[in-house]
Chain A
Amino acid sequence: MEFLESIFILPFLDIADSPIFFLEVVISGVLAGVMYSLVALGFVLIFKASGVFNFAQGAMVLFAALTLVGLMEQGVPVFFAILITMAVMVLLAILIEKMMLRHLVNQEGIILFMATIGLNFILEGVGQIAWGSDVKKLDIGLPDKTFEYGGMLLNTLDLSAALIAAIMVTVLALFFQYTGTGRALRAVADDHQAAMSVGIPLKSIWIIVWSVAGFVALVAGILWGTKAGVQFSLVLIALKALPVLILGGFTSIPGAIIGGLIIGVGEKVVEVYWGPAFGGAIEGWFAYMLALAFLMFRPQGLFGEKIIERV
């Protein structure tokens, strides 16, 4: 009875009690959600264009952030460090295409997935050998101040992170919608063979997609790294992005964003208000359970393409 009360009544009383605190929780959820979306976006880009479920996205975030921090420790100015890291990510994309994807064309999805898990190990190892495995502070000059607005405590860093993520998403959406390369990417996503037959070079498309995913990883790495320090646990945010993907659908960019927001807000609200009833630390699995429950009703996710199968 007490347990039921703590689930069905008390949280709502708490919410009604201080709506401003609730709003604060929601906003922090939105901000966390934006971060999840960024990582999920990297997954979606690659899945859309090559059908590869890239498990190494988290490792790419770590790798990009480590490279950036490492360069800055060597005394490279921020702007050039970011440029060099971008170049490194492009190089990485080329290497991945040449060494791995090219040889795995036409394999089943699960094989490609496993290959990216292998890639995950490689990136983790290389990144940490090259730049060391201690926790590092990343400061590229984003403002980090806490201020009060309408009774809510907000942080400029979080807000600028959300802003950057929003810009990033808009740019990507425009890129996909209006540039020739973007169209080619969408064509490849729809049908590899048809795309090749109208003369779209599949190999360079893959390099482009992996590079773009690398940039997204870099942005995600900068934002997460500024917030929580660059460390090995960055890899784990990939696991946070997976339920976002399920919720939004593997092939949808808006899905990744809205899914991220839903998961971010849901997670924070549930943790704050319902967490005590379950003994806390439910953030780890809540997102997955939410996604799982959701899947029962809409197996293709919010915006995923409905898969029509023929025998």
Chain B
Amino acid sequence: MFYREAGQFKTTYKADQGIFPIIQDRWFIAIMLVISLVVIPYFANEYWFQAVIIPLYIYAIAAIGLNILTGYAGQVSLGTGAFMAIGAYATYKLCTAFPDLNILIVFVMSGLFSAGVGIIFGIPSLRIKGFYLAVATLAAQFFILWLFNKVGWFYNNNPSGTITAPPREVLGIMITGPNALAITRYYVVLSFLVVFALAAKNIVRGRIGRSWMAIRDMDIAAEIIGIEPLKTKLMAFAISSFYCGVAGALYIFCWLGSAETEAFDINLSFLILFMIIVGGLGSIMGSIMGAAFITLLPIFLTNFPPMIGIQIASDLAKHLEEIIFGVLIVFFLIVEPHGLARLWQIVKEKLRQWPFPY
């Protein structure tokens, strides 16, 4: 009823190859864009921006990056935090070394640094796979954070050992630094998310994305039909790290303001991994939904009990939160191992026949 491809005929190849071929999808995306461009900024206040929406979008970018690597190319990575750290530290170095450079360009350039390091740590993936690879990416995680911690050059020998977002303007509008308004930072993060999500959506349905999926499904077979594993896997590592690097740069410069390497520790890597598992492996929309779920859940858990009048000691609440988080993850994996993206697909299929399924 609501959701039907029937009757939507395509008369050109261009229309047939459109990124959202069904009109309902186009409407959905348009509505989401309007909500995020107009409705959210209209209703949200400083707290909502800072505590919920900005981190959600940044996590979504990182989750898309990891999903490219893990969901599409099938290479499990536990080093997301480190690649985000590279983006953040590269941004810091670049924008303190070249104060006049446009900060948005710096964000993208730092993503390139991250991609370079991603390629280096992707090399083992040519020899090893599965859990061995996952543990090998932990080497990146620990080594890179140690490096950023030990070598003073990375944080300009700052005695506190932290990197801080310097104030930078684009077109006269303050984007980073302590005086940047939440709403400007929101729009910056949102535009990155939209551009990156659309780019990812396009990459994964094109030649590159298909070769990733071929490698994921059966690498030997993929090699036989002429896909070079070396190029394909390293490309996945590069693009994934690029996304993570930009997300890491935004993480510090548009959200936290200043941070140490601890902000990028292994828990961050796990958090992003949860997002793509809960959201759905091999789905761009799923990455965003997963990021939303994992960001909103703790906020809900901290705010819900007081709302219904139950007071819990903060220590206990923290542990309870952990337990509920764990239970939900296990529950999700049991009920729907393909994540929220699959649920969304089921809803779409149901809507196709609703209200007369027979």
CB-based nearest B residue for A245: B135
Q: Does A278 lie at the interface of the complex (its beta carbon under 8 Å from any beta carbon of B)? A: yes
Encode contact with A along B123-149: 1 for CB under 8 Å, 0 otherwise. 010011011101110110011001001
Q: Which of B87-95, B186-194, B317-325 contacts A (4 or more CB under 8 A)?
A: B317-325
Nearest-CB residue, chain A, relative to B322:
A125
Contact check, B136 vs A295: say whether CB atoms are below 8 A apart. yes
B99 within 8 A of A: no
Asked if A292 CB lies within 8 Å of chain B CBs, one says yes
Asked if B277 is at the interface (CB within 8 A of a chain A CB), the reply is yes
Residues of A with Cβ closer than 8 Å to B?
53, 99-100, 103-104, 107-111, 113-115, 117-126, 128-129, 133, 239, 242-243, 245-246, 250, 278-282, 284-285, 288-289, 291-292, 295-296, 299, 301, 309, 311
Known: A109-B131, A129-B319, A250-B131. A119 touches B330 (CB 8 A): yes
Say whether B139 contacts A296, CB under 8 Å. Answer: no
Q: A246-B135, A291-B136, A295-B128 are in contact. List 4 more A-B contacts (CB 8 A).
A: A118-B329, A119-B326, A121-B323, A122-B323
Contact of B221 with A by CB under 8 A: yes
Determine if B173 is an interface residue (Cβ-Cβ < 8 Å).
no
Given A122-B323, A125-B319, A311 and B146 contact (CB-CB distance below 8 Å) = no
Q: 1/0 per position for B324-335, CB-CB distance to A under 8 A?
A: 011111100110
- Known A-B contacts A114-B277, A295-B124; the reply to A239 vs B330 at CB < 8 A is no
Closest B residue to A298 by CB, please name it.
B127
Chain A residues contacting B149 (CB-CB under 8 Å) are 281
Q: Tell me, yes or no, whether B218 is within 8 Å of chain A by CB.
A: yes
User: How close is A143's CB to chain B, nearest CB, in angstroms?
Assistant: 35
A311 to B217, CA, bound (A): 11
B136 & A104 in contact (Cβ 8 Å cutoff): no
Chain B residues with Cβ below 8 Å from A280 are 150
Measured CB to CB, the closest approach of chain A to B68, in angstroms, equals 16
Contact B320 A129 (CB under 8 A): yes
Known pairs A114-B274, A126-B323, A292-B136; A284 contacts B146 (CB<8 A): yes
Name the A residues within 8 Å of B130 (CB-CB): 109
Contact A242–B333 (Cβ < 8 Å) = no
A115-B150 CB under 8 A given contacts A246-B135, A285-B139: no
Q: Is the CB of A281 within 8 A of B146?
A: yes
11 residue pairs A–B, Cβ–Cβ below 8 Å: A107-B333, A108-B337, A110-B281, A117-B329, A119-B330, A122-B323, A125-B326, A279-B151, A285-B143, A289-B139, A291-B136
Q: In the complex, A14 Cα to B146 Cα: how many Å?
A: 25
Cβ-defined contact, B326 with A118, below 8 A: yes
CA of A114 to CA of B134 in the docked complex: distance in angstroms?
12
CB distance from A266 to the nearest CB of B (A): 14
* A280, B146: Cα distance in complex, Å: 10
> Would A296 and B273 count as touching, CB distance under 8 A?
no
Which listed residue (B124, B220, B327, B333) contacts A311, Cβ 8 A? B220
Q: Is the CB of B139 within 8 A of A133?
A: no
Nearest residue (CB) in B for A99 is B330
Provide the residues of chain B in CB contact with A246, threshold 8 Å.
132, 135-136
Contact B142 A111 (CB under 8 A): no
When C-beta atoms are compared, the residue in chain A nearest to B144 turns out to be: A285
